[in-house]
Structure 1
Amino acid sequence: MLAALMLLSGCASVTPEPVGGPELLRQSGLDRAFAARGVAPIGGPVSLDEAMARALKYNLDRRGRMMEEAVAMNLLATSKYDMLPKLLAAAGYRHRNSDATTRAVDSVTGAPSLANPFISSEREHTVSDLGLTWNLLDFGLSYVAAKQNADRRLIAAERRRKAMHLLMQDVRTAFWRTASAQKLRATIRDSIVMAEGALADARQAEAERLRSPIDSLRYQRQVLENLRLLEGIDQELASARIELANFINAPLSHDLIVVEPAEQLSSAILEQSVEALELRAIANNADLREQHYNARIAHAETRKVMLRMFPNLNLNAGLKYDTDKYLVNNQWSETGAQISFNLFNLLSMPAQQRLADSGVALADQRRVTAQMAILAQVHLARLHYGNALQQFRRADAIWNVDERINQHGANRAQTQTQSKLEKVSNNTTAILSLLRRYQALALAHAAASKLQAVLGMEPAVANQVGLPLDQLTAAIGSALRHENQFGTPPPAPAAAPAAAPATLEP
């Protein structure tokens, strides 16, 4: 009673303790240091290969997915021990305030066999035992549960693959947005300064009435429209560097500089038959493989229901020791077997079987639905990639024309045959064309990554995040150069196996 009162009084004294500002700041500093732990510093311009490698190696969301997979692996490892017998060691102390006295009577007459009660046990004694118990029903259920945990571990791996596909797609898009911002930054600022000067000249001409008011206002409106476009582009591209830095876990304040790769997108994948792509997606797609594992877990649940219908056989053996001096044998061993069955299981068996069967039907339906959806995604991703590739080529051609027009305009400006408005307009048009070219390029890379994700393909070194950054970068670069073939292996590498070039593999 005293212990219960102490426990109740302790619970009554618990009050909420909100986290204070100093504690938040201290923990924030520790979290930032933890996030930056082991991240190699950026020593120069970042290529697309290095950005991919840094994202795979240092991205915090990917680290979380890998930890989830590690938890699933540990759950599988611990579930294996549930199949072993239970070996229990126990020791105890017993005390009573009076002797354990016993009376005896004659079995025939019912008269007391002894005049006085006799003591059968000491007031204080210790007991200890070591017993081995094995429940065959628990063994069967534990075996099925371990098989289910093995499938859950595979599900965690497929979810990590899916998250990796999304990460690589985001890194590609952010990289090309950063490249466009880096290339257009100086040109945009020069054009804004030029437009501001042309606007000031137009306003001065209006004040001095050097031209008609309506022409002056139209001139100003065109300049202001160009300024609005230029400032909108500048604002749109301002966040690209921060997004890329976040994906590769780089300091957000770092002036990140990227290097554009020389390789261009290829249409080789579009030459493959849709049927071949469908077969590859069915074999390797992460979502579909996850549904297959869920179906296996549901089927295993039906086996657990059937196992519960069997009698429970319990085998035990143990060594015991008691210090009671009234015992003739203070140390002994005992073995036993016990079989039991819950008769109410017969009543619940039909309902449990229907529940398990409905779970299997649901898992099968989800698998079929996922397969049909993935087949549709293969067709859509292939179509989107073809359209994105065509749009990029068209945007590239338009940019080439606008850039040549801008160069001709610059030559005319040197001979004083072109107005500032025309020069600003030509610069703005060229900048917009270059921006649209980079946007089309980013969309094409995103479409390629989407098709790659639907087909379930990724660099073979994607799981080898323990490689040094330079080796991982080289391996990712080799895989990216051959990704348009989606699985066609590159030439045999001459480097060490740890740094071997990667192919796109499931």
Structure 2
Amino acid sequence: MNESTVNTIPSPLRWTLVAMACAVAAGCASVEPVALTQQDMQAQQQKDGVNLRKDVAPISGPLTLDEAMARALKYNLDRRSKQMEEALALGQLDVNKYDMLPKVMAQAGYSRRDTQRFTGTTQYGQPVPGSFAPSQTSSSSEAAHYTSDLGLTWSLVDFGMGYYGAKQQGDRFMIAGEKRRKAMHLLMQDVRTAYWRSASAQLLKADVQKTIRLAEEALDDSRKAATERVRNPLEPLRYQRQLLENMRLLESIDQELSSAQVDLASLINAPLGQTIQIATTDLKNIGNEINQVPVQKLEEVALLKNADLREQHYNGRIAREETRRTLVRMFPNLSFNYGAKYDTDNYLLNRNWNEAGVQMSFNLMNLFTGPAQMKLAEAGVALADQRRMATQLSVLTQVHLSRLAVINTRSQFERADAIYTTDSKISEIMRNRQSVQAQSKLDLVSTETSAILSLLRRYQALAQVQVAESRLVATLGIEPQIGSTGELSLKELTEQLGKAQAPWAQLSAEALQPAPAPASATAKVASVVTNNSVANTSAASSSAPVTGVSASISAPSKGKW
């Protein structure tokens, strides 16, 4: 195609061909998938490694339980994720608030025709001629001109939808806060478990290794004696089997305790290979104040503060707001608009002008779909109510089960402590006998293994007591009164957690408080009778004996979070 042929193509067709060529070129463009390279992975891992330990204070000295929980609340990555989710929900709430504002639109444009826009005119009632004479044509706009306008539009339906949408997002923000509370309770339970496992590993590891070496020496001696064949061959084999069984038990204990440090380091965001020294001064029992709190008081607190139940209440509010959104969506839409416009067309006498309008619109299909939409929204409300009631029953069940778990685990701890006390005395006697060659190594290994196992079960039972109490606290939805973990330093947060006492004494005092006296004389008499009954109950409970734990642990404390 030569130049003369190109020049013969009409101008509109020429521009059409150019546009089609651009569209075809854009359609042929493809994006190939790009796999991550090893360099990209290594670079990202280095950045993540730096951010992982960013602003994390190193552990200096023995780690107390309060500091471990403070580190978990401040540095745990899963907790940070929950906090970010809550912040994201708050940001979404701020964004949804703008949906209630009018829409302000600014536009600018450019229009160009390749030919001048002429129109023909005829007299009224005359037929339209096949062509117009030049005197019968006129033009009312330029071939090229610029336009701009600034307009404001406000819709009543959009305002209603935005209003109820913002209320729903506010409830979702509150749900994110409840999920953060629940995650905090679960985190504190996990920290307690990992801390006590680490404490057990620190106290038992040396004894376990020592007993394993003693068992290996006894096993070697037995095998050497078996080769001499001075005894019945069945006796050495039985002896060796008992040694091997004890060694297997000791090795299983060692393997179980070996992962405790890794679990604790992961929860408090410490280097996984770091050896964490546990402060042994924290190895003490909790008090028995929970037995003095009536079950009715525990149920009352749980129904008010449990995170799962509060979340279902918010879900119910969201479902009810959705019914209102559905109702607003079916209303006729009333919209207002106002705008300032400008046009460079020289044919216009007024290039600047303001424009305002009111519009009413209604989707006639809402007459048919409206009942179905409302029925669906009401079904969502019924489902939310049913879930809330099911959660309420589940929470009450958890309160009773958690309370029983605290009582049962305390009883198991007392039994495990008594067993350990007995085994430790037996082990001491066996060591004294073995020192004067009055006892075989097998008996010593067996008694040492039993003592180690009893001590392990003692600390496991003690950990289960505190974990059971933490689970009950989580079910009640009570958390320690501390400041913002982001604003407090690690030392300040540790001190606040150390001062925070378990809520049982306060709940017991609230349960014993008399109800306010009514105005009528009859109600006053009833109040006096009730107060006397409560006082008698308090006196009876205070005079009842309370079983304590063995004094070999330490004096019972009031209990901490």
Instruction: State TM-score, norm by structure 2.
Output: 0.84
Question: 1:104·1:113 contact (CA, 8 Å) conserved in 2?
Answer: no
Question: 1:85·1:135 contact (CA, 8 Å) conserved in 2?
Answer: yes
Q: 1:483 to 1:171 in 2, by over 3 A?
A: farther
* C-alpha distance in structure 1 between counterparts of 2:275 and 2:483, whole Å: 27
* C-alpha distance in structure 1 between counterparts of 2:252 and 2:45, whole Å: 34
Question: 1:122·1:326 contact (CA, 8 Å) conserved in 2?
Answer: yes
Quote the residue 2:11 is aligned against.
none
Aligned AA (1:340)? S
Quote the residue 1:292 is aligned against.
313
Quote the residue 1:8 is aligned against.
27
Please state if 1:346 is matched with 2:367: yes
Quote the residue 1:337 is aligned against.
358
| Alignment RMSD | 1.9
Question: 2:292·2:508 contact (CA, 8 Å) conserved in 1?
Answer: no
For each residue in 1:11-44, what CA deviation from the matched residue of structure 2 results, as whole angstroms up to 9, or x when unmatched?
3xx2222222232222112111111111111112
* C-alpha distance in structure 2 between counterparts of 1:428 and 1:19, whole Å: 53
* C-alpha distance in structure 2 between counterparts of 1:504 and 1:138, whole Å: 52
Quote the residue 1:429 is aligned against.
450
* SS in structure 2 of the partner of residue 461 of structure 1: coil
Q: Give, in angstroms, the shift of residue 75 of structure 1.
A: 0.4
Quote the residue 1:69 is aligned against.
86
For each residue in 1:273-299, what CA deviation from the matched residue of structure 2 results, as whole angstroms up to 9, or x when unmatched?
111100100000000000000000000
Quote the residue 1:402 is aligned against.
423
* C-alpha distance in structure 2 between counterparts of 1:410 and 1:164, whole Å: 47
Q: Find 1:322's aligned residue among 343, 357, 366.
A: 343
Quote the residue 1:19 is aligned against.
36
For each residue in 1:141-160, what CA deviation from the matched residue of structure 2 results, as whole angstroms up to 9, or x when unmatched?
10000000000000011111
Q: Give, in angstroms, the shift of residue 91 of structure 1.
A: 1.0
* C-alpha distance in structure 2 between counterparts of 1:2 and 1:57, whole Å: 59
* C-alpha distance in structure 2 between counterparts of 1:18 and 1:385, whole Å: 53
Please state if 1:204 is matched with 2:221: no
Q: 1:488 to 1:51 in 2, by over 3 A?
A: farther
Q: 1:124 to 1:118 in 2, by over 3 A?
A: same
* SS in structure 2 of the partner of residue 80 of structure 1: helix
Question: 1:87·1:130 contact (CA, 8 Å) conserved in 2?
Answer: yes
Quote the residue 1:255 is aligned against.
275
Question: 1:62·1:160 contact (CA, 8 Å) conserved in 2?
Answer: yes
After TM superposition, the structure 1 stretch with the greater mean CA deviation from structure 2, 104-113 or 291-300, is 104-113
Alignment of 1:51-450 (within 5 A): 51-107=68-124, 109=126, 115-260=135-280, 261-450=282-471
Aligned AA (2:445)? V
Q: Give, in angstroms, the shift of residue 10 of structure 1.
A: 1.4
Q: Give, in angstroms, the shift of residue 487 of structure 1.
A: 6.1
Q: 1:486 to 1:27 in 2, by over 3 A?
A: farther
* C-alpha distance in structure 2 between counterparts of 1:320 and 1:386, whole Å: 78
Question: 1:452·1:486 contact (CA, 8 Å) conserved in 2?
Answer: no
Q: Give, in angstroms, the shift of residue 110 of structure 1.
A: 5.9
Please state if 1:464 is matched with 2:481: no
Question: 1:319·1:334 contact (CA, 8 Å) conserved in 2?
Answer: yes
For each residue in 1:237-293, what CA deviation from the matched residue of structure 2 results, as whole angstroms up to 9, or x when unmatched?
110100000000000010111113154222211221111100100000000000000
* C-alpha distance in structure 1 between counterparts of 2:484 and 2:245, whole Å: 50
Aligned AA (2:33)? P
Unaligned residue ranges in structure 2 (runs of 5+): 1-19, 510-558
* SS in structure 2 of the partner of residue 132 of structure 1: strand
* SS in structure 1 of the partner of residue 360 of structure 2: strand
Question: 1:269·1:486 contact (CA, 8 Å) conserved in 2?
Answer: no
How many correspondences in the alignment?
Answer: 489
* C-alpha distance in structure 2 between counterparts of 1:488 and 1:102, whole Å: 93
For each residue in 1:26-65, what CA deviation from the matched residue of structure 2 results, as whole angstroms up to 9, or x when unmatched?
2112111111111111112111001100000000111111
After TM superposition, the structure 1 stretch with the greater mean CA deviation from structure 2, 56-65 or 16-25, is 16-25
* SS in structure 2 of the partner of residue 93 of structure 1: strand
Question: 1:128·1:321 contact (CA, 8 Å) conserved in 2?
Answer: yes
Runs of 4+ in 1 over 4 A off after TM superposition: 108-114, 486-489
Unaligned residue ranges in structure 1 (runs of 5+): 490-502
Q: 1:189 to 1:462 in 2, by over 3 A?
A: farther
**Which structure: larger Rg?**
2
Q: Give, in angstroms, the shift of residue 94 of structure 1.
A: 1.0
Q: Give, in angstroms, the shift of residue 466 of structure 1.
A: 2.4
Q: 1:483 to 1:419 in 2, by over 3 A?
A: farther
Aligned AA (2:351)? N
Quote the residue 1:36 is aligned against.
53
